[in-house]
Amino acid sequence: MTMRLAIPQSKSHGMPALSPGLSRRQLLLRLGVIGGPSLVYESLAALGVLTSTVSSAWAGPPKLPANSGRGRRVLILGAGIAGLTAAYELGKAGFDCQILEAQGRVGGRNLTVRCGTRIRESDGRGVIEQVCSFGTDLYANMGPGRIPYHHRRVLHYCQEFNVPLEVFIMNSGANLLQTGSRPRDARTFRQVKYDTQGHIAELLCKAASSGFLDDELSPSEIESLKALLERFGDLDLLSGRYLGSSRVGCVADPDVYTTCENPEPVSLSVLLGEQYWRQSLYAADEYEWQSTMFQPTGGMDRIVDRMASRLCGVVQDCAEIQQISVESDSVTVLGYDHRNRQSFRRCADYCISTIPLPLLRGLANNFHPDFLAAMHACTFAATCKVAWQANSRFWEDDRNQIYGGISYVDDDIRQIWYPSNDFHSGNGVLIGAYNTYSQAEAMGRLDSCDRLALARSGGAKLHQEIADERIIPQRHGLSIAWQNVPFQNGGWADWGSDHQSFSVMLSPDRRFFVAGDQVSTLPGWQEGAMMSAHHVVEQIAGVRPTGRRLLERAPDVRRLVEGLF
């Protein structure tokens, strides 16, 4: 438990008042004897020597003392984003790192499929193996597919490793929303959003004009509010009513004789009845999905490919961990090398595990009971994706005019993603389903053909072309249920409301550390994996305390990965 020292404050600058004859350095030395490194760290923060942990901008990658790791060995279990990041940063400081990866590839859940890529699943009832048959230069990101502009760690490494980026379109006004009562009558985002906005503005304007807000606002504030609502809802200036808006689009495309005519607005009663706000109407307003977002040109795996290229000889793949033994000054792991068909034993001064916690706790181990108990509080969420190669980009035609973004459908498939690249190129890849939790669990129990059938029927609620085998060939469909992928166990960690167990995993069990987005405040995001890797790297290097610190709350996982829906 981290100790906190109450230090009297001086009246001049809010700095601690030191006893006469006792320097700050001497004080810190005495604190180190009393409470160890954690108390020194907390005291440095109190003294203002360290930058506050609450900052408006990321301070950059770990700054480890040069050659601080010389002579020290680190084992890293898992070659996903967190494992690769940790090995790269520790290697720069002279640590001798080895990554043991159970799968035959690097990247973990960062998976981009192209022609020839194999996806293997096992759910206890049998094995599902699919082979991607996309055309040349086509690909699909079956794991993470977007990078927010404020995920500075991911963007930093993209710059450092020269990974070219292009814009990922999260939302466009032409994307579609569909509800269950109107299976073939989807509405565009712009129509639902701006008609809803207009009706709400009209009601508020009426309330302000009728005196219902007199107790809340002054007369001048009410006039300002009405002026604001006129712009916010695009209200008619004479009547104060919402009569429609050009924000929704035009009844017909204008020509040299006619201008844009506003469509008849959807009534408020219809909008309320359809409950479009439950269909992710405001998803793109959530911080994690706000513009601008990015994607690596050519596929998300460009990131791990470039990272792995800097770690030649560090990664051993097909190395399944079977047993972990932690001591006060070392860690030993036993495992099996499937490539060479032999057992192995590795010892190191430190070990970083990125193995999903539900799998890690099942290995033979000697973890402290409280450390092991905290692992049991973590579950992994199911998530599925379906990708289709389309022989024509029908979504970009004159009728649909959809260029990128996501449409939402009241169906088990939940979402359809349109490519944000290669516009008007003749063909492309749609993400034909992306669902989570119970819907993904059900989809994951289906075989590959039944998953594609489900994706066709759900997608046809938005686009009849998806039901057409000539446009969407069955042989070019592909799916993944992450909960069935060996050594993955799901899409992301979910701690529920157990902030205490979450907090335990942020500190090591002796020389054994846990990393990955599973122990970050951004579960399900690559930024979270890098954030966690940096945290552990600094702990091992001695520039961050290892003492336990209780968080106030666990991450709101569903909001972070799904937004408001």
Residue 228 Cα distances to 237, 239, 247, 310, angstroms: 12, 15, 17, 54
Q: What is the mean pLDDT of the chain?
A: 90
Provide the domain count of the chain. 4
Alpha helices in 403-550 (DSSP H): 437-444, 448-459, 499-504, 526-541
Q: How far apart are the first and last CA of the chain?
A: 39
- pLDDT at 348 > cutoff 90: yes
In a domain, 281, yes or no: no
- One domain for residues 365 and 502: yes
Residues 6+ apart with CB under 8 A from 313: none
pLDDT for the residue 22: 53
504/463 same-domain check: no
DSSP state of 216: T
CA–CA distances in Å: residue 327 to residues 301, 350, 351, 354, 511: 36, 10, 11, 19, 7
pLDDT of 21 strictly over 60: no
Q: Which of 453, 484, 515 is at the close of a domain?
A: 484
Q: Determine the average pLDDT of the residues in 327-349.
A: 98
Domain assignment present for residue 61? The answer is no
72's tokens:
């020290």
Does 434 share its domain with 368? no
State yes or no: pLDDT of 1 exceeds 60.
no
Q: For residue 203, give its domain range.
A: 180-274
pLDDT of residue 57: 81
**Whether residues 422 and 513 fall in one domain:** no
Whether residue 219 has pLDDT greater than 80: yes
Across 339-367, average pLDDT: 98
The whole-number pLDDT of residue 17 equals: 42
- The answer to whether the bond into 136 is cis (omega within 30° of 0) is no
User: Does pLDDT of 563 surpass 90?
Assistant: no
pLDDT, one tens digit per residue, over 164-198 is 999 999 999 999 999 876 666 799 999 999 999 99
**Domain presence at residue 151:** no
Domain assignment present for 148 = no
Same-domain pairing of 430 and 514:
no
Which of 462, 484, 506 is the last residue in one of the domains? 484
Same domain flag for 316 and 333: yes
Residue 14, CA distances (Å) to 9, 10, 20, 45 in order: 5, 5, 17, 13
Least confident of 14-18, 93-97, 181-185, 219-223: 14-18
Residue 6 falls within a domain, yes or no?
Answer: yes
Q: What is the pLDDT of residue 236?
A: 94
| Burial environment of residue 2 by CB neighbours within 10 A (0 to 12, 13 to 18, 19 or more) | middle
Q: Are residues 415 and 447 part of one domain?
A: yes
| pLDDT tens digits, 92-124 | 999 999 999 999 999 999 999 999 999 999 987
Task: Kindly state whether residue 478 falls inside one of the protein's structural domains.
Answer: yes
CATH number at residue 189: 1.20.1440.240
Last residue of a domain, one of 463, 484, 505: 484
Neighbours of 290 (CB within 10 A): 14
DSSP 55-118: -SS---S--PPTTTTTT-EEEEE--BHHHHHHHHHHHHTT-EEEEE-SSSSSBTT--EE-TT-E
Residue 378 has pLDDT above 60, yes or no: yes
pLDDT on residue 233: 97
pLDDT tens across 238-255, in order? 999 999 999 999 998 889
Pairing of strands 406-409, 176-178: parallel
Give me the CATH number covering residue 539.
3.50.50.60
Question: Which residues fall within 8 angstroms of residue 125, CB to CB, at 6 or more apart?
Answer: none
- CB distance 58 to 152 below 8 Å: yes
Are 95 and 48 members of one domain? Answer: no
Q: What's the pLDDT score for residue 392?
A: 96
Mind listing the pLDDT tens digit for each residue in 397-412? 999 999 999 999 999 9
Q: Name which of 469, 471, 467, 491 is nearest 481 in CA terms.
A: 491
pLDDT by residue (tens digit) across 140-168? 999 999 999 999 999 999 999 999 999 99
Whether residues 223 and 358 fall in one domain: no
Q: Is residue 413 part of a domain?
A: yes
Domain-located, residue 197: yes
pLDDT at 565: 52
Query: 518 and 435, same structural domain?
Result: no
* Crossing angle of the two packed helices 81-92 and 526-541, in degrees rounded to 10: 40
**pTM to 2 decimal places:** 0.89
- Residue 311 shares a structural domain with residue 445: no
Q: What is the mean pLDDT of residues 528-538?
A: 98
Q: Specify whether 429 is located in the same domain as 406.
A: yes
CA dist., res. 519 & res. 555, Å (int): 10
